Structure 1
Amino acid sequence: MLGDLIGETRNKDTGRRVLDAGDGHVVVEVSFESKGNYYGTPVTGFGTYESELRPDGTLHGEGQGVDMTADGQTVTWRGIAVGHFTEGGGTSWRGSLFFSTASPQLDRLTHLVGLFEYEVAPDGTSAGKYYEWK
């Protein structure tokens, strides 16, 4: 069940690259920059994920990234998700996140599994909401 809101981010793709394309099998790598917050603490960061088009038309994605507070504390994350294409050419994702940090301010993240909703517009802008899994 969804628990407390961890935070939200607004993101912008900075690069896309096709890693594999053959016989209907497509894997795309997307890099992005983000701004947002975890538990009210502002962070900026960047990450990369790979999305694979599956035979049934759904997407499988895995990614990783790093976020930083204004005073240089870092949070790293790894995620895995399922997604689908939306009307107009965007994508919609649901998945899980695992965090790691030495930041006393954000240590709570290391001890939980995050669940997320992530919406990507055709122009490469996106928004994510992150929740604790209770």
Structure 2
Amino acid sequence: MNIARCLVLAALAIALVGCASRGGLPGEGSGTEAPSDSGPAAHQAREIGRGLASWYGEPHHGRRTANGEVFDMNTLTAAHKTLPFGTRVRVENPATGQAVVVRINDRGPFKPGRVIDLSREAAERIGLVKAGVGPVVLYAD
């Protein structure tokens, strides 16, 4: 087992221990509300995927998304290959235990092995901006 995998598993174990004291999911809305910081055991939603997430901002900021709205990298939105537009997805970073609820408004990612492209704001909220790409678990919200 490589060091990166050991670190991910250790972080997940720590997140599981502390999840009982964490808050719940934000209410329904436009996709711009605060993220959930609940751990994996605190939220019993159905897992719909896992893999690598990436994020996008400039030069896409201000351009049209696949559903026709203008992309704003400062909102909680994401691109997915097949989920219907408007679907709300809880995206969890297992390495940190951080999670965010995003609304699907675009298509992608187009790199092999990636399951979701997050707006910059969504990636920031789960600690993926610096790395650019990282493992995530997707839950139906």
TM-score (norm 1): 0.30
Q: Would you tell me which structure has more strand in proportion to its own residues?
A: 1
Which structure has the higher relative contact order (CA within 8 Å, separation 6+)?
Answer: 2
Q: Would you tell me which structure has more helix in proportion to its own residues?
A: 2
TM-score (norm 2): 0.29
